Amino acid sequence: MKKLPRTKKKKKKKSYQAPPRTGGRKSIWLNVLPDDKWIKVKKGTTVYEALAPTEIDLDGECGGLGTCGKCKLRVLTPVGPPDEQERELLTPDELTAGVRLACRTRLNKTLTVHTDVDSGEMELFQILKHGQSPAHELDPLLERRRASVPPPSIEAPTSDFYRLRAALGESYRDMKITYRCLCSLYEDLRTTDFEGQALIHGNCMLAWKRIDSLAGRYGIVFDIGTTTLVGKLIDLSDGLEVSVISRLNSQTRLGTNVISRMQYVKESHHGLKRMREMLIRDLNLITRRLLEANGLVPEHVFIAMAAGNTTMQHFLLGLDPSGIAEAPFSPVLTEGISFRTADLGLATHPEAMLYVMPCKSGYIGGDLISFILASGAAEEDRMILGLDFGTNGEIFLGNRHRMLTCSAAAGPALEGARISRGMIARAGAIESVQVSESDLHYEVIGNVKARGLCGSGLVDLVSVLLHHRAIDAEGLLSPDGISEPGDLFRSRILWQEKKQAHDFVVVWPEESYSEERVLLTQKDVRELQLAKSAVGAGVEILMAEMGVAPEDLDMIYLAGALGNYVNPYSAMRIGLIPTVDVKKVLSLGNAASSGAKMALMSKHNWQKATQIVEQIDHVELSIHPQFYDRFIEAMNFPDENLW
C-alpha cells in the first residue's frame, strides 16, 4: 500500500525567534544584551572583533591589543578564568562580578554578554560643532549662473551647448560639460523653456536646473576628527550654516587614536577597507540627516569639502597610511585634491565634487591648515600661537611673514585616555573642577552622576591641586605641603600601600555613576606631565626658532574640543600653554570646519590654503637637537600660582 504524501502545514509566525543552532564547528553565536542581538561569528573570534563591525558601542582605545583595559563587559555564560592581562587590568570586584575584557574573551562556544552601555539609548556626547573665522569674500567652488538660452532656429542652427555657452557670456566660451549632463541637456533645456541656471565647477558644466531649483544651492563641510565627526550644511549664496550635525567616529571601535588604527590596518588583511567603509558610512549618515532636516535630497548637493588630520584624510581616500607611522613619516599624498563623490561612495549627486584640504606632512594635516586659515594668522602682522590639542598636539607660530609648525606626540592623556578614570567628553564626564572653603565642586556633562574625567576636567583638577599644593612642582601627589583648605584635601588623599603612592578622591562612591570612587592616581598625574611637557617643549622650540618670548605673543588661539572647553588659567597653571595675559587667549572652536568652510566658499581661500602649506617651515621635533632637553625641563609644573 502506497503512503500518501504528507501535506505541509503552514508555520505560525513567532513573535520571537531564537537564533538557529550552529550547523558546524566553524561558527558560533554571540548574544549581546540588553539589545538581545545575535551575531554569528567564527569560532575563536574575540568578542571585541565580533562587535567591531556592528553598531554596538564598546569602550577601548588600544584597538583590541589588550593594553588599555577599557573594553569591559559582563559575561553571563560560564567562561574560563581570566588571563594574566585581565587580572592586571581589572579589579578583584570586577572579576567577581563576571566582568571581562572583550578583546581577551574568545568565543569557543555560544556566549551571552551584557555591555556596560545600552547602545539603543540616547547618550549625550559633547562634540564641538561651531567655530569662528574672519570675514571673507563669497566666491564658492561651485558656481550657479542664470541664463536665458535662445531656442534653436533655422536662421541659427547651432547646437544647444553652443547657444548655452554664448548665453552665459564670453568668459564661458571654452566651458566643458560632463557626459551625464550632456546626455540630458536636450530634455533639460526644453523642460525649463530654455530659462534656468547652469551649475559649473572648474569651467565644467555639471547640470542645468530650473532657476528656483534647490540643486546646487547648498554645500557640505566635513570635519573628520579622530574621535568625532561634524557635518555642516552651508548655503552657498550667503555662506550661512544652515544645519550642523555630529556623531562619534565609528572607527573608535578599532582604536581611539590614529596610531592604533594604523597598526590595525597593518595587521589586518582588510583593515584599510574596513576603516574606509566605516568612515564613508558615518559621513553618509551625517549627510542624510542634514538633508532630511532641510527637505533636501542627495541629488541637490554638488559640492563638499573635507578636513582632517593626514591619517584620517588617507582613510577617507582609501590610501594606506602606514608610511606615516614610521620614519621618515611619509604620507601618500599631501596636496589638496578633488574627486567625484561618487568615486568615494558618498551619497550626493553623481556629478558632485569633494575637495580634501592640503596637508604639510604626516602629522600636520588638513585640519591644522584649516585652523591657520580660520585664524587669519597667515595674513596678519601680529605674532600668533595656535594649538590644536589631541593625541598629536599640532602647533603653529607666526604671521604672514613667517610660519612655523610642529607636531608634539602628546599622547592620549589630554583626551582622557590612559587615565585610570579618563573618558572622552560624553555624558558622565567631569569637564571642570573648582574648590571652595568647604568642598570640591565639579560639573558633569549631561547633569548625571560622574563616571570619570575628560581632558578639560583633568587639567582643571590638577590645576586646583597645584594651587593648593596637594601636587608639588615635580608632580608628586602628597598631603605634606597642602595649603588651605587643608582638611578638605587631606580627607581626599589616600595612601595606596600596593602602589606606594597617593590617590586623590575626586568623587565619593555615593556620588558616582558606578557607586565606586573616581580617583586621580599618581600615574594619572605623570601621564598628564608627559602630555603637557611634549606640547610645552614644542611651543618653546618654535618660539626659540622664531626668536620670540611669551611676552611677544599677541594672541594664543586654541582649537579642538579641549581647546574650547579648557580653562585658560588652568592651562597656564599646569604649563600647557605659555603664561600671558588671559585676554590674549581665545578659543576658535571647531577651527577645522571653519577653515574648510572658508575654502568651500572662496576660490581665493582654497588657493590660500595651498599657499599656507608652501609658506610653512615645519620643525620635526623627533630629530630636533634640543627637544629631549626641553621635554625634560617642561616635565615640572610651574611653581607660581596665577590667582
Ordered structural domains, the chain, with CATH: 27-115 (3.10.20.30), 142-209 (3.10.20.880), 218-356 (3.30.420.480), 372-412+529-633 (3.30.420), 414-525 (no CATH)
Please state, rounded to an integer, the average pLDDT across all residues of the chain: 87
Beta bridge partners of 607: none
pLDDT classification of 25: cutoffs 50, 70, 90: low
Residues 135, 251: Cα–Cα separation, whole Å = 35
pLDDT digits (tens, 9 = 90+) for 389-413: 866 789 999 999 999 999 988 767 7
Specify the amino acid at residue 516: E
Specify the amino acid at residue 106: R
Check if the beta carbon of residue 168 is closer than 8 Å to that of residue 110: no
Instruction: Give the count of beta carbons closer than 10 Å to the beta carbon of residue 133.
Output: 22
pLDDT digits (tens, 9 = 90+) for 454-468: 889 999 999 999 999
Residues 641, 471: Cα–Cα separation, whole Å = 12
pLDDT classification of 634: cutoffs 50, 70, 90: very high
Least confident of 140-144, 211-215, 267-271, 353-357: 267-271
Q: What is the pLDDT of residue 133?
A: 63
pLDDT classification of 476: cutoffs 50, 70, 90: very high
Q: What is the pLDDT of residue 437?
A: 75
* Cell reading at 294: 532641510
pTM value? 0.80
Residues 391, 225: Cα–Cα separation, whole Å = 11
Q: What is the pLDDT of residue 47?
A: 92
The helix (H) or strand (E) run that includes residue 235 is strand 228-235
Least confident of 143-157, 270-284, 412-426: 412-426
DSSP 8-class letter at 83? -
Strand duo 218-224 + 303-308: pairing: parallel
Could you tell me what percent of the chain has a pLDDT over 90? 60
* Dihedral sign of CA atoms 285, 291, 292, 294 in order: positive
Q: What value does the CA radius of gyration of the chain take, rounded to a whole number of Å?
A: 28
Q: What share of the chain is helix, strand, coil (3-state, %, to 5)?
A: 35, 25, 45
pLDDT classification of 36: cutoffs 50, 70, 90: low
Could you tell me what percent of the chain has a pLDDT over 70? 91
Residues 6+ apart with CB under 8 A from 77: 109, 110, 111, 112, 113
* Cell reading at 246: 555630529
Check if the beta carbon of residue 469 is closer than 8 Å to that of residue 483: yes
Q: Compute the average pLDDT of residues 577-582.
A: 95
Q: Of 41, 23, 246, which Cα lies nearest the Cα of 127?
A: 246
pLDDT digits (tens, 9 = 90+) for 597-632: 999 999 999 999 999 999 999 999 989 999 999 999
Would the pLDDT of 134 be above 70? no
Q: Is 474 helix (H, G, I), strand (E, B) or coil?
A: coil
**CA quadruple 189, 193, 199, 200: dihedral, nearest 10:** 60
Q: Compute the average pLDDT of residues 177-185.
A: 96
Q: What is the pLDDT of residue 333?
A: 96
Residue 547: left (phi > 0), alpha (psi -120 to 50), or beta?
Answer: left
Q: Please report, for residues 236, 239, 609, the alpha-carbon distance to residue 139 in angstroms, rounded to integers and kept in the order given.
A: 9, 10, 15
DSSP 8-class letter at 459? H
Check if the beta carbon of residue 518 is closer than 8 Å to that of residue 452: yes
pLDDT classification of 126: cutoffs 50, 70, 90: low
- Alpha helices of 60-178 — where are they, by DSSP H? 84-89, 92-96, 160-168
Residues 6+ apart with CB under 8 A from 94: 72
Angle at 168 between CA 164 and CA 173, to 5 degrees: 80
Q: Compute the average pLDDT of residues 468-479.
A: 94
Beta bridge partners of 306: 222, 356
* Dihedral sign of CA atoms 593, 597, 600, 605 in order: negative
pLDDT classification of 68: cutoffs 50, 70, 90: confident
Q: Compute the average pLDDT of residues 138-167.
A: 93
Q: Compute the average pLDDT of residues 122-132.
A: 52
Check if the beta carbon of residue 565 is closer than 8 Å to that of residue 456: yes
Q: What is the pLDDT of residue 4?
A: 47
Instruction: Give the count of beta carbons closer than 10 Å to the beta carbon of residue 446.
Output: 15
Q: Of 546, 552, 540, 545, which Cα lies nearest the Cα of 581?
A: 552
Packing angle, helices 603-615 and 591-601, rounded to 10 = 120
Would the pLDDT of 119 be above 70? no
End-to-end Cα separation, the chain, in angstroms: 104
Q: Of 318, 311, 409, 320, which Cα lies nearest the Cα of 361?
A: 311
Residues 536, 282: Cα–Cα separation, whole Å = 35
pLDDT digits (tens, 9 = 90+) for 326-348: 888 899 999 999 999 999 999 99
* Cell reading at 66: 589588550
The helix (H) or strand (E) run that includes residue 370 is helix 366-375
Least confident of 359-373, 473-487, 530-544: 473-487
Strand duo 616-618 + 403-408: pairing: parallel
Buried b or exposed e, range 37-62, using 16+ CB within 10 angstroms: bebebeeebbbbbbbbebebbbbbbb
Peptide bond into 82 cis (omega under 30): no
More confident residue, 431 or 200: 200
Q: Highest mean pLDDT: which of 194-198, 259-263, 322-326?
A: 194-198
Q: What is the pLDDT of residue 16?
A: 33
Q: Is 219 helix (H, G, I), strand (E, B) or coil?
A: strand
Q: What is the pLDDT of residue 562?
A: 80
* Cell reading at 373: 586659515
Q: Compute the average pLDDT of residues 33-43.
A: 77
Residue 314: left (phi > 0), alpha (psi -120 to 50), or beta?
Answer: alpha
DSSP 8-class letter at 641? -
